[in-house]
Structure 1
């Protein structure tokens, strides 16, 4: 299960009708916007009546040396502080002879002066609860490099360390030749990890779409040759040129007085001076594109790729930002037509005879040179001709007739919510989220409207008309000739794509589309509200247990620890994997993720979104080890709607067949990506090795091709609609408010009798007592290799909880040691991990070390894993190492206990049993009380035996693809 469930999000995106390429581009858009380069930008906007007023709760300022800062007081988490340092230079700013140098500089500045310095910082930060990678990290985008630090407890010593490190990043970095050579290995491994065939093909597609512009060329992994050619002199030159106070931003958000934050920033950075006494050098200008370029095609043959067709037209991009109402209005008009076409294409993809599995329209406002309007299509069964014709017909229909008034209303409503959701994190939420949003906005020159974002959007779009949107579409779909790119496993004849497109343009005009009408929500009532027949209060947990006359049980826990003031609902039912045979596990897990998208008996999912567009709601269905869970999160004002949605899924799930046509292809494509992941491949290989002679837990290509919505219904409908339900409501809500809403939904459902659905042939991993023979698996379409080392543990239970927690600490110590040795000292990996998994009533526990590396370094990495494991088993760590491993765990646990999802999951898993809840809550104190001897004893017992070794290697060039979709 662990190797299967993780990649399902990708499968879901495809099967639910969303383009993976569009999703990747959308994710990149947020990070890749160009930084504002006008020094008087803020002052010019201040007197602009059409400007967007800044959020008054965010204090902005500029130090005499030019460093800009933003500060905000926030008490979630309490005592915590988040700091961001952003430098306005990224991959785009490197000259052609120094491609990749911005990312290399980020690695070097993050680490300090070398492995010893990096280890010293990591050790010191761990002592304050800061986890490497989770709480302290950095990233390089096209136009900025950001350093991120989240302190769970911001006392004076922790803040002293934080600003000492950030100041060293700012102007204290050194680039010793030996350290540069070691870091090359880390960067090469990171580059290999990202060179998966499917993603590489999509990046090649994007480069063609954007006419080979600089931003497209710089968006992928750093080229191997550039990494290898990097010198200390090249790094120093880039660092000295761009790392300067008048080209940087500092953001500080947390539970400190704003004046103290300001003093900290002034003290740490006030003396920062540019390395060169001259103005900030000009950033590389946007490259000009050929607006007269005719139609063109590009065929990208990749046996392990996902067949993807993209058609774009480009205008010249502008280095500009949405900082005034007119600009926001113009962008909203472009986003509106894209939203409408996406809705139309999604409906088309759900038709039984649809020629495409998914399609996504977008107007790329990414401030790139080629400002493209594109449609990206996943053809069904590789039939690009029919897929192209369908997209082209819808495009021409929109151009000829435009949208309806109802379509415009729906689109603007959705865009209103998106704009507000994008900016609300600048106003409310946890400090790390707010800090990241503020750093992005400030470094990119975007406004910070915060909690008034919905009003800002409404002002910008007031009175927008259908004709205005049609004009935006006509403008956006102009410029260059159509650029048609096709990722495929077998190439069509040269020129076929352009010819088919030209024929489509010359075809008779399409007819007008169907009228779009308003949709009513059919689940506003479930009958007479149920009566509470029993109530039990748990004052120490701030929780009550309500039993309704129909037998439904509800727990209401008030928790005001989240700054978002949201409410989470968790509905548990069934027996999880205990009710499934081994060959049903994958189908049920996939069905759980897809069930929300299969809608309800009386309304489909797309119509649900329209009917409930005035409310915030969501729904996820997870198939767990011991039970299943329907989960949604909303605002207190929308709790009634959220409960209606979940009760509707628990009583009348749709399992609609409109996903059948694209389901098999979506699953196959998702599995193709998954099989390129070392972690998933290693876990699946272990699962298969534990079941000799039995079919793999992963379905065969033949089985995948036959999966239908009916399969999901067969496995899940009975559990959903007839098993007893327990409902957990956690968050900014009280019993008085929640009870009538629960009574009107789950309390109003028909009674349900208990059913024992456990089965004798339910398979859980067990019996791994001695190492298996070495296993080798191949990674199709990948460049990286990996070694997995697996040690068997035991099936967890409360009686052995103390030893379980000791093993968790031993695993963390091993992870720290492995990272310092294999990454920092040897440069042989990018992201080594150690996971200790001990689920109750589930699989046998395992400890797994996974280290990605170059194929030529596999033997050395195996030896290092063995050496590190032997050292941990021999107790070669001290109290300080234990404390460093323990402090981040305790900090993360403290934060989790302020979150709705954590409490909702805990109450659901324990069925509200106070003793079990308190046992889990008490694990924090248990970990704090562990002695060094206890951890050494656990490490000796479980890490001393030889592990099972699983090696993942890239598939040989020319090998057959993982399976044609």
Structure 2
């Protein structure tokens, strides 16, 4: 839903999330223009993609238009306003974001909720397809619309123009929306938010950014006069600060003309306020802050270096981006090694560099560490960074990462024509706001081919030395506050830096890797039967060893194959005594690697491959999932084969896994998790095989690696009851030898197995619980209607329709009419195994003072639907959304993979997957009957989270 947004890198620096370095993809010259990379000067700007139509109107508004048919029959539209919270006056804190909210609550052409109602009526969803965000420096509005009706685009243009110049700010709508904005603020509160309150003034030292967070002040939001909102809108929503972006399946020249005609009449103020750029000082002395809070789940250390902005859009900037990517990848590999020590000093960590705020970049390395090991974790992290600075990297590391980077660009080139319209639109938004260029993929790959071979160790090693400057450095530490835990102060943290600077650090020794993942190719076995289901383009094979393979070649993507496999059994076949070890068996194997390779070596072995395979053991099934490039399919098959036949036992990695889980114990104590555990315990009636998170994490200390490995081997000892599903860019002729060689070689015991029902059943009657936990004035309400059901495909879909109807109605009532919550979530399920059971889940947050008021409205609406059924308008919205989703999903490999597995596992005919029959035929009366059947007033569980101060 529409909300605040801090630019990604800044969010990373403020929130308690871990950053892992990523390649910076900038720009390159245009091969199509007949110019070679070698002829370019490094300072020269790189030509833009000629397929983009761009220009500026006389009033200053900029536009970008590009034709793109991924997805087909859709267009992505953006209204970009180069104004955010940084421009707020002192009496407007939070009003940039509030203005954004009001864009969905009344405009010149759409009264009140009519704008959202219209977009939902054409199948677009509030949130995924209708959205907006406010950041420090910009506000961006986003629309996705279908393109099969010319009137839709004309209406969409009216919406964009209304957002730009026609918000109405009706007082009654403003007052209702105040509550929604405050609830968004409330929902973000907690331990991490309180830590952020302490650390933001240090991170944004002596800068306006420190007191201009987009979420703003709830006091200002609650009391600001409408005129104060209007002042921000009139000052900053003006054409010279705006861009319109349109990317989609349309005629570009036609859309360009529509933009010019629609926006030509916009006029800015006669005496516009100057749009001044705020900045953050980057040359201050080192700063350190340590913050603790009883509701912080993880302990994180972060070291931030503020730096001048990188050059954008030049040949040299692109080349420097390649060097930066290589450095980050090599150092992140070394840091990952720390996570696999028997007593790991960090749970995870990494380095990154990117935009911090407008006009300032930042480099950062950070890690999640044990709560009682802050100094040890920081020492380990700094030692890796310092070691790279002193001794540099090794030739094997550099060559491996260069090969990996080249392979990723190769994959990007293969999918050049399949880039999503949303991704392209995002790129043009960024160019408008921050500068730079938007070259073609072919141009970028030409740059990679020219520059990557010439990047040497001297260059990457020089880059490594730039990461330890004291100027502009900010160290932040955030962790839990609890009795008996001694958290180091700022002086102790700073002492770690001094100690590492004097530390004797040995040069890094790169390991030698085997050149082959699987030295001996198995003999395999042949396909013994084939069925072709022409209606859906599916071929089904059965192999001599009983393995069944379902294949659907597609042309949706050029460089993607997705796959999965499933077999009945899972953890349900473990004994109660072995339950904990069995539950983590797949993680034990994943952390150990495969064949002769530990996890780190395996990742390095696969660095230049686009192949990922995950072996998993769930509650009722075991399986395989993954993705691969067509050219790396054999590697994927080899990984599958190793997953079945050579899981690797690694005691050190298992000890590290257990230590990492122990670090997560604080998460089980957070208010939200205590509430969820309470709900889960009630729904499972305290069954020992459905433990709370805290119980499970605590039991992990007794998990046994040998038991886990034995259980894993047992689950994958017999492939004869596995069905594999492959969807993507391949032919059956190409797949056959791979399937016969590798899947045909999987072990066959001829067992007939199924899952075991351990009797984890929902309770009968009404159960209501109140959980008093948390320091903030927050409430969460969860209502679950659950019980025994009778499974059928139609019944499952009807229940889903009921949930969709209820989701829309409760959003309209609780959010739009009452201003009581930021968001409502309604979901449903109807299971077929181990029991036929239904569940309808309703969740929303609110002011504790209004929790019962909103709950009463929920039950009143449920009773209305039970009595009258859904209204025709809501039914039409849900139906059109389903139809539009189906249109795009049928062109998604992942959708076909999941549907093939679901249909087959539940006994449905896969020929029905493309059918729109049910979407077109369901009725309001069926939904009403489902509400009577499933939303029973005598059969539900309700859990409410309230602050601790309210207890007693």
Question: The TM-score by the shorter chain falls in which range?
Answer: 0.7 to 0.9
For residues 584 and 94 of structure 2, the distance between their equivalents in structure 1, rounded to whole angstroms, comes to 39
> In the TM superposition, what are the counterparts of 1:770-809 in structure 2 within 5 Å?
770-772=765-767, 774-780=768-774, 784-792=778-786, 794-798=788-792, 801-809=793-801
Aligned partner (choices 838, 841, 846) of residue 833 of structure 2: 841
Aligned partner (choices 746, 751, 768) of residue 749 of structure 1: 746
For residues 655 and 814 of structure 2, the distance between their equivalents in structure 1, rounded to whole angstroms, comes to 47
Q: Secondary structure at the match of 1:111?
A: coil
Aligned partner (choices 854, 861, 885) of residue 847 of structure 2: 854
Structure 1: tracts of 5 or more residues without a match = 1-17, 34-45, 960-965
Query: In terms of mean alpha carbon deviation, does 59-68 or 602-611 score higher?
Result: 59-68
**Conservation of the 8 A alpha-carbon contact between 1:830 and 1:852:** yes
For residues 668 and 438 of structure 2, the distance between their equivalents in structure 1, rounded to whole angstroms, comes to 38
For residues 572 and 369 of structure 1, the distance between their equivalents in structure 2, rounded to whole angstroms, comes to 51
**Conservation of the 8 A alpha-carbon contact between 1:600 and 1:654:** yes
1:357 corresponds to 2:352: no
When residues 519 and 881 of structure 1 are mapped into structure 2, their CA distance, relative to the original with a 3 A threshold, is same
1:603 corresponds to 2:603: no
Q: Shift in Å at residue 662 of structure 1? A: 4.0
Query: In terms of mean alpha carbon deviation, does 56-65 or 566-575 score higher?
Result: 56-65
- Residue by residue, what CA displacement relative to the aligned partner does 1:785-833 show, whole Å, maximum 9, x if unpaired? 12222223543522xx334333322222222111111101111100111
> In the TM superposition, what are the counterparts of 1:446-845 in structure 2 within 5 Å?
446-452=436-442, 453-480=444-471, 483-488=474-479, 489=481, 490-492=485-487, 494-498=489-493, 500-501=495-496, 503-505=498-500, 507-523=502-518, 525-560=520-555, 562-563=556-557, 566-576=560-570, 578-579=572-573, 592=586, 595-624=589-618, 626-654=620-648, 656-667=650-661, 670=664, 672-673=666-667, 676=670, 678=672, 684-692=677-685, 694-695=687-688, 697-699=691-693, 700=695, 701-707=697-703, 710=706, 712-724=708-720, 725-761=722-758, 763-766=759-762, 768-772=763-767, 774-780=768-774, 784-792=778-786, 794-798=788-792, 801-842=793-834, 844-845=837-838
**Conservation of the 8 A alpha-carbon contact between 1:581 and 1:759:** no
For residues 185 and 114 of structure 1, the distance between their equivalents in structure 2, rounded to whole angstroms, comes to 23
For residues 43 and 547 of structure 2, the distance between their equivalents in structure 1, rounded to whole angstroms, comes to 56
When residues 392 and 650 of structure 1 are mapped into structure 2, their CA distance, relative to the original with a 3 A threshold, is same
When residues 445 and 629 of structure 1 are mapped into structure 2, their CA distance, relative to the original with a 3 A threshold, is farther
| Equivalent residue number for residue 891 of structure 2 | 898
For residues 155 and 677 of structure 1, the distance between their equivalents in structure 2, rounded to whole angstroms, comes to 48
- Residue by residue, what CA displacement relative to the aligned partner does 1:217-249 show, whole Å, maximum 9, x if unpaired? 555743333433433223222222222223222
| Equivalent residue number for residue 294 of structure 2 | 303
Q: Shift in Å at residue 858 of structure 1? A: 0.9
Q: Secondary structure at the match of 1:467?
A: helix
When residues 732 and 515 of structure 1 are mapped into structure 2, their CA distance, relative to the original with a 3 A threshold, is closer
Q: Secondary structure at the match of 1:447?
A: coil
Query: In terms of mean alpha carbon deviation, does 410-419 or 821-830 score higher?
Result: 410-419
Q: Secondary structure at the match of 2:103?
A: helix
**Conservation of the 8 A alpha-carbon contact between 2:522 and 2:741:** yes
Q: Secondary structure at the match of 1:938?
A: helix
| Equivalent residue number for residue 323 of structure 2 | 333
Q: Secondary structure at the match of 2:73?
A: coil
Query: In terms of mean alpha carbon deviation, does 826-835 or 150-159 score higher?
Result: 150-159
Q: Shift in Å at residue 586 of structure 1? A: 7.8
Query: In terms of mean alpha carbon deviation, does 588-597 or 427-436 score higher?
Result: 588-597
When residues 577 and 917 of structure 1 are mapped into structure 2, their CA distance, relative to the original with a 3 A threshold, is farther
**Conservation of the 8 A alpha-carbon contact between 1:569 and 1:727:** yes
Q: Shift in Å at residue 684 of structure 1? A: 3.7
1:239 corresponds to 2:233: yes
Q: Shift in Å at residue 171 of structure 1? A: 0.8
When residues 516 and 110 of structure 1 are mapped into structure 2, their CA distance, relative to the original with a 3 A threshold, is farther
> In the TM superposition, what are the counterparts of 1:3-14 in structure 2 within 5 Å?
none
**Conservation of the 8 A alpha-carbon contact between 2:546 and 2:719:** no
TM-score (norm 2): 0.88
- Residue by residue, what CA displacement relative to the aligned partner does 1:640-696 show, whole Å, maximum 9, x if unpaired? 222222332233233533443443454355564476475x66554333124445445
For residues 102 and 575 of structure 2, the distance between their equivalents in structure 1, rounded to whole angstroms, comes to 50
How many matched pairs?
A: 918
When residues 954 and 650 of structure 1 are mapped into structure 2, their CA distance, relative to the original with a 3 A threshold, is farther
For residues 383 and 301 of structure 2, the distance between their equivalents in structure 1, rounded to whole angstroms, comes to 15
**Conservation of the 8 A alpha-carbon contact between 1:317 and 1:367:** no
**Conservation of the 8 A alpha-carbon contact between 2:59 and 2:240:** yes
Q: Secondary structure at the match of 1:382?
A: coil
Q: Shift in Å at residue 639 of structure 1? A: 2.1
Q: Shift in Å at residue 705 of structure 1? A: 3.5
Aligned partner (choices 937, 940, 943) of residue 932 of structure 2: 940
**Conservation of the 8 A alpha-carbon contact between 2:295 and 2:669:** no
> In the TM superposition, what are the counterparts of 1:86-485 in structure 2 within 5 Å?
86-113=80-107, 117-198=111-192, 200-201=194-195, 204-205=198-199, 208-209=202-203, 211=205, 213-215=207-209, 218=212, 221-274=215-268, 276-277=269-270, 281-291=274-284, 293=285, 295-312=286-303, 314-318=305-309, 320-367=310-357, 371-416=361-406, 428-452=418-442, 453-480=444-471, 483-485=474-476
When residues 414 and 884 of structure 1 are mapped into structure 2, their CA distance, relative to the original with a 3 A threshold, is same
Aligned partner (choices 944, 948, 952) of residue 952 of structure 1: 944
Q: Shift in Å at residue 175 of structure 1? A: 1.8
- Residue by residue, what CA displacement relative to the aligned partner does 1:276-319 show, whole Å, maximum 9, x if unpaired? 1356732323132443x1x443221112224535353534433x
Aligned partner (choices 885, 902, 915) of residue 909 of structure 1: 902
Q: Shift in Å at residue 615 of structure 1? A: 1.8
Q: Shift in Å at residue 633 of structure 1? A: 1.8
For residues 588 and 149 of structure 1, the distance between their equivalents in structure 2, rounded to whole angstroms, comes to 46
**Conservation of the 8 A alpha-carbon contact between 2:687 and 2:760:** no
For residues 915 and 757 of structure 1, the distance between their equivalents in structure 2, rounded to whole angstroms, comes to 19
**Conservation of the 8 A alpha-carbon contact between 1:171 and 1:244:** yes
When residues 312 and 687 of structure 1 are mapped into structure 2, their CA distance, relative to the original with a 3 A threshold, is closer
| Equivalent residue number for residue 37 of structure 1 | none
For residues 222 and 409 of structure 2, the distance between their equivalents in structure 1, rounded to whole angstroms, comes to 42
**Conservation of the 8 A alpha-carbon contact between 2:570 and 2:622:** yes
When residues 744 and 623 of structure 1 are mapped into structure 2, their CA distance, relative to the original with a 3 A threshold, is same
Q: Shift in Å at residue 929 of structure 1? A: 0.6
